[in-house]
Chains A and B, each alone.
Chain A
Amino acid sequence: MIESILFWIFAVLAVAGGIAVFVVDSMARATYALAVSFVAVGGIIVMLHLDYIGVITILMMIMEMAIMAVFMVMFMGMNPALMPMDMTHSTRRSAVLATLTFLVLAVAIIVIPWPDRTGSAAADLTRSLGEAIMGSKMLVMLTISPVLFATIVASLVLANPRGRYDRYGADLDRRDPDGRAHPEDPIGGGIGR
């Protein structure tokens, strides 16, 4: 009983949050409506007894939305992010695509003859998840994560119009005729560099 009530609360929150993203006219509200939607999905995952994945989903999604708030001001030129604005574009095409996707998925759910469950859940799901990721897939993880991280850093460096590399050149060695860095940073970092 309580479980069904909780499920429906989370499910309605997830869908309503998703809809709100496109209805509201403020970047901040859209961002955090999306966060609410994801948090509700995280709640549903916890209800499936996948505690770790559920809580981590909540953690990552809130963090991601907060970071998005940094980026939206950093990269939006004259900052329409701070003004009321329409959150949609290409509405007709998006609506057609969304309806089609929904129909395909809904039909698939009903039509596919889903097999019965044969195995049983491990006693400690977090542990078995960890072993699955860190055991046989360790090499993949070790390869992918540095590449992903390097991609994030590189795209930031390339996209930031007022970054260090833009000001000091590719080798960070642009100097004035008097030998000092150009332009001179008014504030050094915390360890005096």
Chain B
Amino acid sequence: MSDPVLAAVLLVPIAVVTLAGVTASANGALDARTRGAPLRSGFTAPLHEAARLLRQQRRTLPGADSLLWRIAGAGIGMVAVLKVVVIPFGDTVFADLPVGLVWFNAMDVLLWALWWLLGWGANSGWSLVGGYRFLAQALSYEIPLMFALTAPAIGAGSLRMLDIQAAQVDLWFVVWMPLAALVFAVSVVAFSSWGPFQTALGTDVGGGVVAELSGIDRLLVLGGRYAVLVAGAAFSVPLFLGGGAGPVLPAGVWVVLKTCAVLAGLITLRRLFPTLRPERVAEIAWVVVVPLVLVQLAVVAVIVGMHGGAL
């Protein structure tokens, strides 16, 4: 095995899991502060929960479609890793696909299948409701997300992540395509089924897709959700935040730092907005957001046309 392949197989999953753990801890700490509990208990809460779930016996329901259920549970974290392998860390990229951007999009569509299968596999009504809630939400966020992804591609004139990163040497894309960046960030929260977009796991349906999960299966899904959030945040760095560009520190470190900054923003976002029901998101997405993103694309295209390339 060559070095980049080995690094991708070993390094990326470890990094994603670590960052997911850190995110979960930070989120737990903020939750603890809200409750008035000591911060430290919040920080360690994800660790305690993980240890508890690892010891717990996994249970299943009569008539459960275990094959599809397990595939879905294990798949969410894997999707996160598959997203991260196309992200450039400076000049290093584990999988330098000429269509890295489209690869990311394909992987986030894979989440549609996984969340629904998770709801389906349990053979439980509440889970299935959760699975369908995610699909209903996906119909709202996916089209704006696809258009938001198109903006950096137009700006750089390429679908390769290295080219997109290189086009931001003079000016980060977030400066002249802020709306696309915002829509992308919101979509990351939505495909992670987290924060305001967590109805698929809603307490009003007994936990939705995770209602019947226990033991290692539950750990994989709840951890996988944070991993997907991390992957989405990390992807916003080469897309909108100039990739590994930054003073003094090496590029790889800057990518991680910027990812953490985005994650901090997303964790804050969760506390600013109430949970949004999918049927409400649909109208907002199609009547307000899609036209706005199209205008953003037009602006980007005109700038690129007039300027003969990225600003």
Residues of A within 8 A of B (CB): 26, 28-29, 32, 35, 51-52, 55-56, 58-59, 62-63, 65-67, 69-70, 73, 124, 126, 187, 189-191, 193
Contact = CB atoms under 8 A, between A and B. Distances in A.
Nearest to A73: B132
Interface in B47-77: 65, 67-68
B170 to A, nearest CB: 23
Given A51-B97, A52-B159, A70-B135, A62 B281 contact: no
19 contacts: A28-B65, A32-B68, A52-B159, A55-B102, A59-B102, A59-B106, A62-B109, A66-B116, A67-B135, A67-B139, A69-B120, A70-B135, A124-B98, A189-B279, A190-B276, A190-B281, A190-B283, A190-B284, A191-B284
A26 B106 CA distance: 25
A55 B277 CA distance: 31
Contacts of A193: 283
Contacts of B151: none
Contacts of A55: 97, 99, 102-103, 106
B101 to A, nearest CB: 10
B250 to A, nearest CB: 29
B222 to A, nearest CB: 22
A35 B139 CA distance: 19
Contacts of A63: 109, 112, 142
Nearest to A54: B99
Nearest to A42: B106
Interface string B91-126: 000000111001101100110110011001000000
B182 interface: no
Contacts of B97: 51, 55
Interface residues of B, number: 35
Contacts of B280: 187, 189-190
Interface string B267-281: 000000000110111
B159 A69 contact: no
B288 interface: yes
A84 B25 CA distance: 42
Given A29-B68, A190-B279, A191-B283, 6 more contacts: A28-B65, A28-B68, A67-B135, A69-B116, A187-B280, A189-B284
Say what secondary structure dominates the interface of chain A.
Answer: helix
A59 B142 CA distance: 12
Contacts of B110: 62
Nearest to B285: A190
B138 interface: yes
A156 B65 CA distance: 30
A98 to B, nearest CB: 26
Contacts of B67: 29
A59 B109 contact: yes
B248 interface: no
Nearest to A49: B98
B282 A190 contact: yes
Contacts of A51: 97-99, 102
A126 B135 CA distance: 30
Interface string B147-184: 00000000000010000000000000000000000000
Contact of A126 (B98, B116, B142): B98
Q: Which of A29, A35, A62 has the most CB of B within 10 A?
A: A62
A93 to B, nearest CB: 30
B10 interface: no
B287 interface: yes
Interface in B229-286: 276-277, 279-285
Contacts of B288: 191
A185 to B, nearest CB: 10
Q: Which of A51, A73, A190 has the most CB of B within 10 A?
A: A190
Given A65-B113, A66-B113, A69-B116, A29 B159 contact: no
